[in-house]
Amino acid sequence: MAKVSILKCNDYNVEEIYKVIKQSLINIDFEIPKNKTILLKPNVLGQKKPETAVDTHPAILDALCILLKENNNELWIGDSGGVITYGGTKKAFEVSGIADIARKHNARLISFEASERKEIINNNAKVLKKFIIAKEPFTADLIINVPKLKTHVLTKYTGAVKNMFGCIPGGGKSKKHALAPNEDMFSNLLLDIYQHVTPNLNIMDAIIGLEGNGPGSAGIPKKAGLILASKDAVALDIEASKIIGYAPLDIKTIKHAIDRGIFSKLEDIKVIGEKNLRINFKKPSMKSNLSSKLPEPIVKLIFNLVSLKPYLKKNKCKKCNICSDVCPVDAIKLSPYPKFDRKKCVLCYCCHENCPYSAIKLSYSNLINFLNKIRNIFGKR
């Protein structure tokens, strides 16, 4: 029986967060280790200030560091951000305020794109038979996963399991999107990674989450006023997804985790604290799911027609070239503004997710938009 603690925490006051996290660990029977090397793995997607709610808030890490240092633990804080240029994560640590927390607590700050690497080979994996991952998750004594509560345009919800994707160094992440361009494949890919880098503890920053077309700049900050904790990442994701209005099995990482035996069943969870909470989070625009019974050429044709596609909002574009840098299939060229090669595009939404200026929107084709307008007109009669 996996335990999930769900406690209220109204703001980013470090003293309050400290108390809530300490009680959360008691709730889930997690004993704080002594004299260990502990890797804290936040969600550092982009070079964003804390108020944007894109990255794990530094106050959460501050409170955690205070708590862990009481037992003389050595602390590491590590991640690989969404911006794949060398030094991008280091800058994200500075802008997000996480670097200040590392300096305050004398924690080692690690950009995984610059760290030593380990090769993983697993012929039984669903998608990733072989991949490269940062070495630090394997050299630390234990991992504390510190995700952010957010919606996601590809996977609907992003939480504890998906946060371990950040252990893939630098540009390796965008290449994985090309390898697994749809929701099912990408969710299985995330689980392939999670099975090899399984955190010992998961503490979710759900004080202010992100709703709408997250997980990046296009998302909208949304107060939930919560901190969630569990030893089991899948169990935490089950409860967090329920809170923001999803049926857990609609989240493919959860469904496939159960199908693959990584987690037993939805009922094997004991919630301590706030129960049956529901918060109205705006859902992301999603790609349509098509019946697998249709012939593959027809599926591809319909899928391409009804799927959301990235489009440029020229008035917001700064021609920074980040969208082109993160595209895993080289489908974006600057001339002088970004132009999309629709034949190459795999609809992974990396460009939308990583644009620091919200200059890339997701929209349906003109035909689908026209049909939706007609449907809305007749639907009102």
Angle at 146 between CA 145 and CA 147, to 5 degrees: 110
- 2-273 belongs to which CATH class? alpha beta
Secondary structure (3-state) at 136 = helix
C-alpha of 186 from chain center: 12
Residue numbers in the chain where pLDDT is lower than 50: 287-294, 296, 299, 381
Which residues of the chain form CATH 3.40.50.11440? 2-273
Nearest-CA neighbor of 54 among 265, 205, 249?
205
Return the pLDDT at 374. Answer: 61
pLDDT at 378: 56
Q: So what's the pLDDT on residue 292? A: 39
Instruction: Report d(CA 115, CA 289) in Å as an integer.
Output: 38
Check residue 308 and report its DSSP letter. Answer: -
- Separation of CA 49 from chain center: 17
SS3 26: helix
pTM (2 d.p.) = 0.84
Q: How far apart are CA 253 and CA 73, in angstroms?
A: 32
Residue 250 carries which side chain, given as an amino acid letter?
Answer: D
- Rounded Cα–Cα distance for residues 123 and 126 (Å): 8
Q: Indicate where the chain has its CATH 3.30.70.3270 domain(s).
A: 296-379
pLDDT at 121: 96
Report the alpha-carbon distance of residue 357 to residue 352 in Å, rounded. Answer: 10
Q: What pLDDT sits at residue 285?
A: 77
Q: Please state, as a whole number, how many other Cβ atoms lie within 10 Å of the Cβ of residue 123.
A: 6
CATH code, 296-379: 3.30.70.3270
- Check if the beta carbon of residue 143 is closer than 8 Å to that of residue 33: no
Q: Which amino acid is at 111?
A: S
**CB burial readout 124-163, b (16+ within 10 A) else e:** ebbbbeebebbbbbeebeebbbbbbbbbbbbbbbbbbbbb
